[in-house]
Amino acid sequence: MWGRIKNLIAHSTIRQKLSVLIAVFVLYPVLVVSFFGYFVYARDIRNEIVKSLKQHIESVSNLTIERFGQTRNFAMMLPYDGTLNELFVRMKNGEESESSLYRKIINYLYSKFYSKQEIKAVSFYFTDNINRVYMVQSDNSYSRYVNVIHPIVTKVAEDLEEQFGYYISDDGEIYVIRKMFDRFSFKQYGTIVIAVDKDYMLDYFKDEFPGGAGLILIYNDMSILENGKIPDEDRAFIINQIRRESPEENGSNTLSTSSYDVIFGEIPLSNISLKYGVIMSTSLVMERYNNALKLLLLLTGAVALSMILVAVPLSRAIWAPVGELVGLMKQLEKGNLGVQSKRMQNDEFKFIFDSFNNMSNEIKHLFDVVYKEELARKEAQLAALQAHINPHFLYNTLEIMNWKARMAGNTELSEMIEALGTLFDAGMNKSGKSVVKIREELKLVDSYIFIMNKRFGKRLEFIKVIDETLLDAMIPKLLIQPILENAVVHGIEPVGQGCIKLIIRLEEGRIKVIVEDNGAGISDEDLQEFDRLFKGQPCKMRGSTGIGVKNVHDRIRILYGYEYGLSLEKREEGGTRAIITIPYIL
């Protein structure tokens, strides 16, 4: 009999299983009626307490928004006195020295904020030089702000769509950001950042809540203020729920558990929002109903036992397929492509498992065919881009010439031939490596520089500024020499002399290879043509012009993706600057 029931459950649809579950609950009307009266009464008391808390938190939220609004209004009025705008114009016109400019800006900032106790610090920076920070503060926060906060604030300010916004740091400090615009050109010339006292801005949230309720105020995923009674064992869970919940139309919603209720809400502030959870212990309500609860315990136990006997097989029938599906997904995640389910059922899970089997087969197909074809295509394309017409017989010929030069006692010619041979050998790529260490790439650079020094003599100066901690980082082979050659041909040759500077350094976790020259420079029209060339668009480049730099750009894109590559720009002091950006890989 029991076997027939299990078989019936296993082959019934989800709708049939749910129907059976509903029928089971209908068999216990006495239990339903008893608990109905109990919970209606409890709900009314609970709703009254929740309503009181919601009114209180709404009042506190409005006062906090008003306090933030006062700070916003103060920040929005700053540009209208024109002091910083005038200093900006004078700086651009060369009418202010750096020391005078610094003194006047600091005095201005101090005069504006020294009397406001809620402001801890204020800083200003020009858009053209974001790393130059003018700051006054009431504590020793300058070093931390410049090194930690300022780089983040500049990025937040850059992303702001409006003139005003907020930023809250990992330690909960609040910063007000105000963009400054030129009154004539309406272009942004700078940004003011105000560090306000968190205790002042959030002071209303520190007051005791009705009934001893607790409060957690978060920004993003971090708690910036906690007050009252908060269950330690559930603190992380509550914070996670606050982060995930979105307020309803009335401004808040509620989560109920067996030990507490949580009222969620949100305080919108320009570009950010603060989320809160007010934790109310259910003991405030349940203390009044303990006696009534005792009368129901006996009936609840009997009903619970009956429900377990029926619910266990039903639950297994529902969750066993789910568990199997999870196991199959884990196998797929570990790389067991094409894994299949052999479960045979007549309910809705059959469609799910059939869909999973089809998906697994499709993933295996994509990996075996599409991905491998794409990988082969990229490898072929990379090999084509790296290929150079450097026949082996040319290298052997250079070796013969080097031998004859040494026999004739012509050391200088022999050294030039050896340097050229080094470049030829690298171009032939006998090792088959597409990337090498930077120290190896610099050997090729030195060979090229040696040859150019022999050609130009004292008319050409090479300067290298290399971060030696990066010498073991990996770089695409023959990446720097084409850029140096471009600087010589298009920068130095037209004017007959000059200086080329090679810089390799680490910026924001990426390697920057910079080649600068003070030669003939590059026109805006040519810069636009190079931009079209890099994007694969039609351009007016003639002959071999741009082939070398485009080769470098394409190789980087193929190896590392479209966020890396080569860019060209004009130097203010004359000449051209080429910047290569690649990932830092050891």
Q: Is residue 132 part of a domain?
A: yes
Please report the pLDDT score of residue 388 as a whole number.
Answer: 44
Tell me the DSSP string of 410-429. Answer: -HHHHHHHHHHHHHHHHHHT
Distance from C-alpha of 558 to C-alpha of 552, rounded to nearest angstrom: 10
3-class DSSP string for 231-267: CHHHHHHHHHHHHHCCCCCCCEEEEECCCEEEEEEEE
pLDDT band at 357 (very low <50, low <70, confident <90, very high): confident
Residue 458 lies in a domain: yes
Q: Compute the average pLDDT of residues 293-308.
A: 64
Cα end-to-end span (Å), the chain = 68
Pick the last residue of a domain from 149, 173, 201: 201
219 in Cβ contact with 171 (< 8 Å): no
pLDDT at 364 over 80: no
State the pairing for strand pair 460-466/498-507.
parallel
DSSP string computed for 144-159: HIIIIIHHHHHHHHHH
| Residue 575 located in a structural domain | yes
CATH, residue 103: 3.30.450.20
CATH of residue 557: 3.30.565.10
Task: Give me the sheet containing 188-196, strands edge to edge.
Answer: 129-137, 119-126, 188-196, 174-181, 164-168
Of residues 6 and 164, the one with the higher pLDDT is 164
Alpha-carbon distance of 292 to 65, in angstroms, equals 44
pTM check: above 0.85: no
In a domain, 271, yes or no: no
Q: Is 514 a residue whose pLDDT tops 90?
A: yes
Judge whether 24 and 310 are in contact, CB under 8 Å.
yes
Q: By residue range, what is the domain housing residue 463?
A: 433-583
CA distance 54 to 59: 9
Residues 312, 318, 319: CA angle, nearest 5 degrees? 85
Residues in the chain: 586
* pLDDT score of 204 more than 70: yes
pLDDT tier, 389 (very low <50, low <70, confident <90, very high otherwise): very low
Per residue in 498-511, pLDDT tens?
999 999 999 999 99
Identify which has the larger pLDDT, 314 or 63.
63
pLDDT digits (tens, 9 = 90+) for 38-47: 666 666 767 7
Q: Is 448 helix (H, G, I), strand (E, B) or coil?
A: helix
Query: Average pLDDT, stretch 348-352?
Result: 68
The pLDDT tens digits for 550-564 are: 888 988 988 888 889
pLDDT of residue 451: 82
3-state helix, strand, coil split of the chain in percent (to 5) is 55, 20, 25
Q: Does 579 map to a domain?
A: yes
The answer to the question of residue 47 being in a domain is: no
- Tell me the mean pLDDT in the region 26-33: 58
| Domain end (from 156, 183, 201) | 201
Residue partners of 385: CB distance under 8 A and separation at least 6: 551, 554, 555, 558
User: CA-to-CA distance for 456 and 371, rounded, in angstroms?
Assistant: 50
Strands (E) across 60-118 are located at none
* CA quadruple 148, 150, 153, 158: dihedral sign: negative
Higher pLDDT, 308 or 355: 355
User: Burial letters for 218-233: b for 16+ Cβ neighbours within 10 Å, e otherwise?
Assistant: bbeeebbbbbbebeee
562 neighbors 580 (Cβ within 8 angstroms): no
Q: Nearest-CA neighbor of 510 among 565, 568, 436?
A: 565
Domain tally, the chain = 2
Per-residue confidence (pLDDT) for residue 376, from 0 to 100 = 41
φ/ψ bin of 129: left (φ > 0), alpha (ψ from -120 to 50), beta (otherwise): beta
> What does pLDDT average to over the chain?
77
Token pair, residue 398, equals: 């250079």
pLDDT digit string (tens) for 222-278? Answer: 777 877 777 777 777 888 888 777 655 445 677 767 677 788 888 887 777 788 888
Q: What is the pLDDT of residue 393?
A: 46
Which has the higher per-residue pLDDT, 472 or 3?
472
Answer whether residue 32 shows pLDDT above 60: yes
456 C-beta neighbours (distance < 10 Å), count: 17
Residue-wise pLDDT tens digits, 424-476: 565 555 555 778 999 999 988 888 888 888 888 889 999 999 999 999 999 99
* Listed residues 159, 184, 201: the one ending a domain: 201
Residue 126 burial (CB < 10 Å; 0-12/13-18/19+)? Answer: buried
What is the pLDDT confidence band of residue 521, given thresholds at 50, 70 and 90? confident
- Compute the CA torsion angle 24, 29, 34, 36 (nearest 10 deg): 80
Percent of the chain exceeding pLDDT 90 equals 18
Do β-strands 222-227 and 252-256 pair in parallel, antiparallel, or remain unpaired? unpaired
Rounded mean pLDDT, 121-147: 88
- Is the residue at 193 inside a domain? yes
Q: Which two tokens stand for residue 343?
A: 């479960």
Q: Given this model, what pLDDT does residue 569 score?
A: 92
Domain contains 346: no
